[in-house]
Amino acid sequence: MQYNPGWNGSSVNLLHVQAAGPGDSLHYVWSSIGAPAVLLVATQSPSSALRVNWTQLLSASPAGAIWIDPPDSVVYSTAVVFTKLFEFSEAKPLGELFYPTYDLSKFSWDSLNHTLNHTALTAELCGAPASDPGGSFSNGSLAFRVTAYEAGGRDGRLPSLLHTADSSQLEFVLAGVAPRGNSSRFLLEVATVEEAGAERRLRSERSIDDEYTPTIFEVLSLVAQPQNGSSTLGFLQWKATAYGSRSPRREDGIRCRAQGLQAANWSLPVSSIVQAYFGDSLGSTCTISALNVSFGGEEGEVYQEKRYLSWSVLLGFGEPPRDTFSPLVISITAVALGTPLAMLLLGSCLVLLAQRRRYSEYEPIN
């Protein structure tokens, strides 16, 4: 993990996370320069390196300021940008009432270096609007918590997402922000950038197993696939729930919905690392898609009470991890289904045995 590689100041945030394998390497570049974003690059060289031209990156024309060396080692690159936070309430009979939008590209962000933990591979990007006339953020903040992994496993806190060494987890946290309505709900806009030949698709999978995330049976994945193929290049994965507590429990769950993936015909807000890497292709050959993730619903009052909201999402390369039944669940199921079957077979054998014994003691009468 490198903070602002090649730059001595802490007035801006750029975090580079690299995972090196025997024949390839993966790069995650997180930044709050402009709208908060992450750049994901997979290379076929274990020694590939991130290069940053800081003078150009912080200028009005950042195109070409970020690249991977050697350039021909790159096999796949994409970006995810967190653009806006909406707040709205159900105003009957008028319908949904939207309040002024929080544009994340206009937030002021704290130095990420203060929260960087090289041992736990974690960091936190925390910010608030540069201009907050209503004072909603006077005692609150918006944060993105990043966790990288060295091996596969499962996160210890709900929603207990399953991860691999090729993935990173992002937790979106809204804490202490004063709502502007009596029953406010929040909606986060997420945009993705794909180079020519790839596109994003939203998948929903349901399972009867809620062992690791009680009462949640749906997993959503925003996957990147070639337009002429079925292989998966990268993904965002999350469970259909958020939580309203710093120590989440089942009863703290907040309904989470994905409101459909759409092609974005608008330009991205200022996000320097995306423009710096993709350059002129961002407005020509790249495909930009947008997805809205809403939090709340019938139980939307959860945030009103605790003023805390957390949503976890996994980002990575290749196929998203898939949950399978644990040995404990398999054992319980086997016992539950196997015991009646064993009793039925045993009972049938005893009946047959009893019938044979009864007729064997007497001579048949002709």
Specify whether 213 is located in the same domain as 337.
Answer: no
Tokens of 322: 């898939």
Please compute, for residue 309, the number of CA atoms within 13 A of its CA located in the half-sphere on the CB side. 30
Q: What distances in angstroms separate CA 218 from CA 255, 258, 312, one per listed residue?
A: 11, 12, 14
In a domain, 74, yes or no: yes
Same domain? For 339 and 234 the reply is no
Please name the residue ranges forming H helices in 21-132: 54-57
Examine residue 33 and state whether it is found in any structural domain, yes or no.
Answer: yes
Distance between CA 137 and CA 34 in Å, rounded?
19
Residue 322 lies in a domain: no
Whether residue 297 is found in the same domain as residue 352: no
Peptide bond into 70 cis (omega under 30): yes
pLDDT of residue 296: 82
- Same domain flag for 125 and 164: yes
Q: For residue 133, what are the domain limits?
A: 2-317
Asked whether residue 360 falls in the same domain as residue 297, the answer is: no
My answer on whether 209 and 75 are in the same domain is yes
Q: Does the residue 73 lie in any domain?
A: yes
In-domain check, residue 257: yes
Q: What CATH number should be reported for the domain holding residue 191?
A: 2.70.98
pLDDT of residue 270: 67
Q: Are 234 and 223 in contact (CB under 8 A)?
A: yes
> Which ranges of 43-161 does DSSP label H, i.e. alpha helix?
54-57
Residues 336 and 311 in one domain: no
Do 188 and 279 lie in one domain? The reply is yes
Quote the DSSP letter at residue 101. Answer: P
Q: Do 122 and 251 fall within a single domain?
A: yes
Q: Looking at the domain assignment, is residue 302 inside a domain?
A: yes
Q: Name the residue among 361, 355, 257, 247 with its Cα closest to residue 299.
A: 257
Kindly give the confidence (pLDDT) of every residue in the chain, 366 residues in length, as a single tens digit, with 9 standing for 90 and above. 999 999 998 899 999 999 999 999 999 999 999 999 999 999 999 999 999 999 999 999 999 999 999 999 999 999 999 999 999 887 665 667 889 999 999 999 999 999 999 999 999 999 999 999 989 999 999 999 999 999 999 999 999 999 999 999 999 999 999 999 877 889 999 999 999 999 999 999 998 888 889 999 999 999 999 988 878 999 999 999 999 999 999 999 999 999 889 988 666 766 789 999 999 888 788 999 999 999 986 554 668 888 999 999 999 999 999 887 656 555 666 666 767 877 888 888 888 887 766 555 556 676
Residue 34 is given by DSSP the state B
Q: Within this chain, do residues 48 and 172 fall inside the same structural domain, yes or no? A: yes
- Give the model's pLDDT for residue 39: 98
Q: Residue 342: how many CB atoms within 10 A of its CB? A: 11
In a domain, 323, yes or no: no
- The answer to whether position 294 is within a domain reads yes
| Dihedral over alpha carbons 109, 49, 70, 316 (to 10 degrees) | -70
Residues 88 and 52 in one domain: yes
Inter-residue long-range contacts of 10-16, CB under 8 Å, 24+ positions, other chains counted: 10/111, 10/113, 11/111, 12/58, 13/109, 13/111, 13/112, 13/113, 13/125, 14/52, 14/273, 15/112, 15/116, 15/123, 15/146, 16/50
Residue 17 shares a structural domain with residue 159: yes
- As for how many domains the chain has, the answer is 2
